[in-house]
Structure 1
Amino acid sequence: MRKIFIVFLAISSFVTAQKKDITLAEIWDGTFRTERMNSLNSMNGDFYTLLNFNQQTRSTSVDKYNYATLEKVETIVDSKDLKQLNYFESYEFNNNETKLILGVNSEPIYRHSSLSVFYVYDLASKTLQLIDEDKIQEPTFSPDSKKVVYAKNNNLFIKNLETNEVTQITVDGLKNHIINGICDWVYEEEFAFVKAFDWSADSKNIAFLRFDETEVPTFSMDMTGTDLYPTQQVFKYPKAGEKNAEVTLHVFNLESNKTSKINIGEYEYIPRIKWTNNANVLCATTLNRHQNNLKLYFVNATDFSSEVVLNETDAAYIDVHDNLTFLSDNSFIWTSENDGFNHIYHYSKTGKLINQITTGDWEVTEFYGVNEKTKTVFYQSVEDGSINRSIYAVGLNGKNKKRLVNKIGTNEASFNKNFNYFINTFSDANTPTVYTLHTGEGKQLKEILNNNKLAEKLNLYNTSKKEFFVLKTENGAFNAWMLKPSNFDPSKKYPLFMTQYSGPGSQSVSNSWNSANDYWFQHLAEKGYVIVCVDGRGTGFKGADFKKVTYQELGKYEVVDQIEAAKKLGELSYIDQNEIGIWGWSFGGFMASNCLFKGADVFKMAIAVAPVTSWRFYDSVYTERYMRTPQENPAGYDDNSPINYADKLKGKFLLVHGSGDDNVHVQNTMRLSNALIEANKPFDQAIYPDRTHSIYRGKNTRLHLFTKMTNFIEENLGKTDIEIQSLKI
């Protein structure tokens, strides 16, 4: 017996030496960093450029590469050769690629916006020209490359690069009152753009949006900072049902030096403006406040008349996108859920439907563009199943469809300008990201970059593969994945920890390589938890009906689906139905809170990070798209607010928020905390000072947060004693 015991220990030690568990510190110190290609910019012809950093010279450069060979052709500009700049952080070419705008000293504003100092670099003379002494926003070359328009202090300016003269287009810009050419907070966050101006093709006109946010209610946040006294961040934030900025469309003519206001009928929002290929025709997209009536207007820049060329309506809402593409004859490509699934359509320049290019009970998830020479349309879709993404080409007439990649998983294409080549980014749940070069016809030419070293490193750790499945409940069939401990024993009972986001049109169950959260789930699995993710009703890529069933009742069906999913999973022989927990961030935090309160007999614990706790507190554009206003739909808001169910709390609850969250305000957490206090319900809370919605900035912030959450799970969900786990040799 003694001898056998010694041998067992030796084998056990060998196994332990070979495999180890992922630690929280490793997740956040870069141990599992995925190798990625730098973001590339396609150039004219079969070339692309990369922004590279040279460790040896501590300089940045823009380098030109050949698509066909992937070899470096030349260095276009290197900061070590510039007297005024030691480095630069961004670059943008003019149309004929003779000049570059270089940005430095970037200062973030909100999620997408920032301020920087910008220079124009001339490739021929190798000289730099400062655009403005101050930090500015969104400098953009005119198509003829003679001028740059930019925003500063809520006004628009034009810099003449030939004379160095600056013309101020607008003069009424004022913080928290008038913004010219740059989006307000809610447009930037919910319509996902910052630059609200555009040059006409002949460089004679600049179209821009003007935001009058004078009457928009003001929101303020105390910022603790490092000084003796805190400061306040004060900005305009229209909450659901409150007044939005008044947005108007204007055109500035450079020859007359005159600005004209454009009449485009009745609307609440102008979420996109874009000049067509006809230099005298501007396209403006408008939406009503309910966001279920979208119009495309063509505006004549000569007499400022306008006409509707496309009018799309929906019983629920219409998502704004960037897939409007004008062809040389000014006909245009448009994507729409008109037939119940997102597909590609071709319209004439007068708005007459030429044909629907793609059809089927599946979604187009990305429109890449059109090769007009070959009359070929390129797109990404879920034709291989809603958790996968593949790349396809199809004729402009909708015929001769061809699949361009063979691997099942997540494929993302980056085409060059003439669509002769594309770089494919592939991954699946078990394969770290791989970059490959392909011809426009789909032939793979070579592998550019892989993450084999990361895969080899992960082989040294105890990890498990995600198991994808369809969970069937009385309310539908839902995509799901499960992660079990690497030494899973089906005869044992395991606590279940559920993760989800659940927001409208979102997807958490996808066949793609993991995020940092997935390493956390592996960490938890090795502690003895089974991790499951379920995409219930309201999530995306399964058709408009599946997504829009939650309209006007956010949190009703989604919560039912997570509760029912938990019950169904609890019936599995290896799941302890008395030990089920759930967590989520943002919309997922809203969900986790509701699940714990409304499913008090199902969930034992929950963690809510940066949650919306009442849609009355969230912004107008996002919330009303799915809920209409609280004045119109009070029950939809209140019947699904966790605040109104705080008295039902039975389990353990951790509530986390960043006090500097300009998106989902900490007000949400404070109001829910108040409700819990009034109901005399014990709960745990963590406030991260000055952190934004991502709770990321600052030394050890993410490590601290995930350590806190891990400890909370271990203390309140199931038994994780190693004795219940079988030894795997």
Structure 2
Amino acid sequence: MTTSYPRLAARTQRFTLGIPRNLTISPDGATVRFIRTPDGVTALGQLWEYDVASATESLLVDPVALLGEDGEQLSPEERSRRERSREGSGGLVGYDVDKTGRWACFTLSGQLWAVHLGAKAVHSLPSVGAVIDPRLDPTGRLIVYASGGALRVIGVNGQDERALVTPESDTEVWGQAEFIAAEEMERFRGFWWAPDGQSLLVERFDDANVQTWHIADPEHPERTPVARRYPAAGTPNSDVTLWHVDLDGNRTQVEWDRAAYEYLGRVSWSADGDPVIQVLSRDQKSSLILSVDVATGRTNVLRELTDPAWVELSAGPRFAPGGALVTVEDLDGWRRILVDGTAITPDGWQVRGIVEVFEDCVVASASQEPVEVNVVRFGLDGTVTPITEGAAVHGALISGPTTVISRSALEAVGTTVMVHREGAEPAPITVVSETPPHHPEVRLLLAGKHELRTAVLFPRDHKAGSHKLPVLMDPYGGPHAQRVVASARAFLEAQWLADQGFVVIVSDGRGTPGRGHDFERAVQDDFAGVTLDDQVDALAAVAEAYPEDVDTSRVGITGWSYGGYLSALAVLRRPDVFHAAVAGAPVTEWRLYDTCYTERYLGDPNTQPDVYDRNSLIPLAPALERPLMIIHGLADDNVVAAHTLQLSSALLAAGRPHTVLPLSGVTHMTPQEVVAENLKLLQVDFLKSALDV
């Protein structure tokens, strides 16, 4: 019996299992370590080691050997942390290596483990509670980890386990990132070692003022609803502070104007200078990059950033070797690397992230064409030297004489990971991902006046000009998420949908990354107008490009999260264009979504209620005249099920028929094989029926 594509995609986590991840390189460049599952279908991360000189791999840590038949047990805190980072795997999902390259540590099933890398010996360490995010000190003597709201320390030899700082209330937490930092600021850590291993910077947050929501399990009414602190737009955030803590537990608070700059966005501490932090105002229109005097807790302003829309957090502001300050900032329309306030990246380059900082250059991931990401060396003298080239998505890691480059492209479904060492031929690290059952046939075009990067996929057996096909728009469409990239794996599901009898269109409208300052900020105060208009423009451009193949009288739209919002919005506001929609986990009322994301784009609902009203789906309910299916996981603590229930109530009150599919026990992710398979099949059947396919 042939396994369906949706089930294969769920089983393989969209064909990412088996790809090396979490790579680190030893300081001398001799060893590469990484997490990889044993094959393409087993979601159990193992720790591997690659010897650069011999190009051989060896297994360091096998979770099955450590846990035996008991298997892995996750704490609620760890489950929540993985939900924030969209982590679907088990076993090892992270690890840390000290700067000497002698020790590694990790958490497995809530326990603390250490690896002597020279002897390749793995042993468990005594720990208290469920271990979260263990980190070795740079000298390889101690491990610090978060547990039960406290931050604790233990020697790598298992001796002297103790608390460094402990909470004074059940809403106080030390050493972890608060919800907003992890969900919306891509900061998942809550403590940072000093380069000498003698002290740390530690976040403390208190959720006492954050409102409590309750996530119930209607399938099991005997269970008590789970209480979650959720900072919805316009309501209080966590109270976040930063402290310098020494190994005796003495602490000094880091001082900045927290009333004016509520968010702690970035923290770094290298051997090249004092710690550097970036703080952000609640309205996100101003930000400070500060150096920290750890002895006194006082801070000094290094950079002050402002933007009439919002300031993007820098990709890790830090001091470079030699003491120069390196930041990533929006300047003159482009996201650029600045060194001591002077841009070193020219017009036309959009910086995606920093790979490594050197005294004479910065290596970064960057784009000229938005669908491509390359690795580039930007010299302080103005030189630009591409390290990778071509229509692909690249990533890199550098240490000493060794560089590791990952690459995925359109010509082949899969990712390669190559080790480059000075004076030697590049060699691959093994990828054991499953081979997908098909290769996407992707056509890329520039759509409309904004030249929206748009992908078009036809059924693989379709003969051009033979007959017109119904259309399925498949957007995300919201800020900070790019769907159209030069990677075949990104379009596997889109090709499967096309093979069901549709022309599938994936288009990145305004607000999505890679296109510069003004393109991203066009959505300010106007999700409902700008992002929907761009999908309409993309459809029109595709119909014009393929007039004999596209039937614009039968257009469906489907999406998840922001894509779910956009799909429901499409049939509510533009039934003349869109004839059916499937909305997965949609945000229907932005007052119910979190502070940092929503206020960045729509402002404060207490001062701009009209903006929220204009962008809400609830007032549009009486306008529904097209088939609409809404899907929502009842255990979702990010886009809570109240979004769907409120829209459904409004539709019912207006007498508008619609379909609601509740998913018991499912969060914002849907990793279960059977759920994912049947969910996708039901969506396709719904759209086929609605569009007369």
If the TM-score is normalised by the length of the shorter chain, which range does it land in? 0.7 to 0.9
1:386 corresponds, among 370, 386, 389, to 370
Once the two structures are superposed, residues 102-144 of structure 1 have per-residue CA deviations (whole angstroms, 9 ceiling, x without a partner) of 4221xxxxxxxxxx21023445785735141422212222233
2:647 corresponds, among 672, 687, 694, to 672
Instruction: Indicate how the Cα distance of structure 1 residues 647 and 138 shifts in structure 2: closer, same or farther if over 3 A, else same.
Output: same
1:42 paired to 2:25: yes
Measured in 2, the distance between the counterparts of 1:360 and 1:31 equals: 37
Once the two structures are superposed, residues 302-357 of structure 1 have per-residue CA deviations (whole angstroms, 9 ceiling, x without a partner) of 2332211111111111222443232233322211112211111112xxxxx3x321
1:469 corresponds, among 423, 436, 445, to 445
2:412 matched residue in structure 1: 431
Alpha-carbon shift at residue 468 of structure 1 (Å): 0.6
Alpha-carbon shift at residue 582 of structure 1 (Å): 0.9
1:525 corresponds, among 477, 498, 502, to 498
Structure 2, unmatched stretches of 5+, are 72-90
1:346 matched residue in structure 2: 339
Measured in 2, the distance between the counterparts of 1:716 and 1:465 equals: 26
2:591 corresponds, among 606, 612, 616, to 616
1:718 matched residue in structure 2: 692
1:188 corresponds, among 182, 190, 205, to 182
Measured in 1, the distance between the counterparts of 2:65 and 2:622 equals: 66
1:693 paired to 2:668: yes
Contact 1:505 1:539 in 2 (8 A): yes
1:488 paired to 2:463: yes
> Aligned pair count?
661
Alpha-carbon shift at residue 530 of structure 1 (Å): 1.0
Instruction: Indicate how the Cα distance of structure 1 residues 443 and 601 shifts in structure 2: closer, same or farther if over 3 A, else same.
Output: farther
Kindly provide the amino acid, as one letter, of the partner of residue 159 in structure 1.
I
Contact 2:46 2:59 in 1 (8 A): yes
Once the two structures are superposed, residues 633-673 of structure 1 have per-residue CA deviations (whole angstroms, 9 ceiling, x without a partner) of 21211112111111111111010000000100100000100
Alpha-carbon shift at residue 683 of structure 1 (Å): 0.6
Secondary structure in structure 1 of the residue aligned to 2:245: strand
After superposition, residues 60-139 of structure 1 pair within 5 angstroms as 62-72=47-57, 89=92, 90-105=94-109, 116-122=110-116, 126=121, 128=123, 130-139=125-134
Secondary structure in structure 2 of the residue aligned to 1:432: coil
Once the two structures are superposed, residues 367-420 of structure 1 have per-residue CA deviations (whole angstroms, 9 ceiling, x without a partner) of 211344xx342222212x111122222323222x2222343222222x2312x3
Measured in 2, the distance between the counterparts of 1:27 and 1:142 equals: 39
Alpha-carbon shift at residue 706 of structure 1 (Å): 0.2
Larger Rg: 1
Secondary structure in structure 2 of the residue aligned to 1:637: helix
1:556 paired to 2:556: no
Measured in 2, the distance between the counterparts of 1:42 and 1:23 equals: 36
1:579 paired to 2:554: yes
1:323 corresponds, among 316, 319, 334, to 316
Contact 2:16 2:433 in 1 (8 A): no
Alpha-carbon shift at residue 622 of structure 1 (Å): 0.8
2:282 matched residue in structure 1: 289
Alpha-carbon shift at residue 79 of structure 1 (Å): 7.4
2:293 matched residue in structure 1: 300
Contact 2:269 2:318 in 1 (8 A): no
Measured in 1, the distance between the counterparts of 2:688 and 2:319 equals: 56
1:507 matched residue in structure 2: 482
Contact 2:104 2:115 in 1 (8 A): yes
Contact 1:79 1:86 in 2 (8 A): no
2:237 corresponds, among 238, 244, 255, to 244
Measured in 2, the distance between the counterparts of 1:157 and 1:676 equals: 51
Measured in 2, the distance between the counterparts of 1:81 and 1:301 equals: 43
Measured in 1, the distance between the counterparts of 2:658 and 2:566 equals: 17
1:179 matched residue in structure 2: 173
1:726 matched residue in structure 2: none
Secondary structure in structure 2 of the residue aligned to 1:311: strand
1:403 paired to 2:386: yes
Instruction: Indicate how the Cα distance of structure 1 residues 81 and 124 shifts in structure 2: closer, same or farther if over 3 A, else same.
Output: farther
Secondary structure in structure 1 of the residue aligned to 2:204: strand
1:360 paired to 2:344: no
Alignment RMSD (CA, Å): 3.1
2:74 matched residue in structure 1: none
Instruction: Indicate how the Cα distance of structure 1 residues 292 and 216 shifts in structure 2: closer, same or farther if over 3 A, else same.
Output: same
Measured in 1, the distance between the counterparts of 2:122 and 2:405 equals: 36
Give the TM-score, by structure 1 length. 0.84
Alpha-carbon shift at residue 271 of structure 1 (Å): 1.7
Instruction: Indicate how the Cα distance of structure 1 residues 153 and 174 shifts in structure 2: closer, same or farther if over 3 A, else same.
Output: farther
1:260 matched residue in structure 2: 252
Instruction: Indicate how the Cα distance of structure 1 residues 76 and 482 shifts in structure 2: closer, same or farther if over 3 A, else same.
Output: closer
Measured in 2, the distance between the counterparts of 1:452 and 1:100 equals: 25
Measured in 1, the distance between the counterparts of 2:332 and 2:168 equals: 43
Structure 1, unmatched stretches of 5+, are 1-19, 106-115, 348-352, 720-729
Percent of pairs with identical residues: 23
1:421 matched residue in structure 2: 402
1:202 matched residue in structure 2: 196
Kindly provide the amino acid, as one letter, of the partner of residue 454 in structure 1.
T
Secondary structure in structure 1 of the residue aligned to 2:426: strand
1:370 matched residue in structure 2: 357
Kindly provide the amino acid, as one letter, of the partner of residue 261 in structure 1.
Q
Alpha-carbon shift at residue 214 of structure 1 (Å): 0.6
1:309 paired to 2:302: yes
Contact 1:371 1:377 in 2 (8 A): yes
Instruction: Indicate how the Cα distance of structure 1 residues 441 and 643 shifts in structure 2: closer, same or farther if over 3 A, else same.
Output: farther
Kindly provide the amino acid, as one letter, of the partner of residue 421 in structure 1.
T
Kindly provide the amino acid, as one letter, of the partner of residue 601 in structure 1.
D
Instruction: Indicate how the Cα distance of structure 1 residues 163 and 152 shifts in structure 2: closer, same or farther if over 3 A, else same.
Output: closer
Instruction: Indicate how the Cα distance of structure 1 residues 508 and 221 shifts in structure 2: closer, same or farther if over 3 A, else same.
Output: same
Contact 2:55 2:427 in 1 (8 A): no
Alpha-carbon shift at residue 76 of structure 1 (Å): 5.5
Kindly provide the amino acid, as one letter, of the partner of residue 361 in structure 1.
G
Measured in 2, the distance between the counterparts of 1:33 and 1:211 equals: 37
Kindly provide the amino acid, as one letter, of the partner of residue 387 in structure 1.
V
Contact 1:409 1:427 in 2 (8 A): yes
2:426 corresponds, among 442, 445, 455, to 445
Measured in 2, the distance between the counterparts of 1:32 and 1:626 equals: 30
Measured in 2, the distance between the counterparts of 1:546 and 1:633 equals: 23
Measured in 2, the distance between the counterparts of 1:91 and 1:63 equals: 11
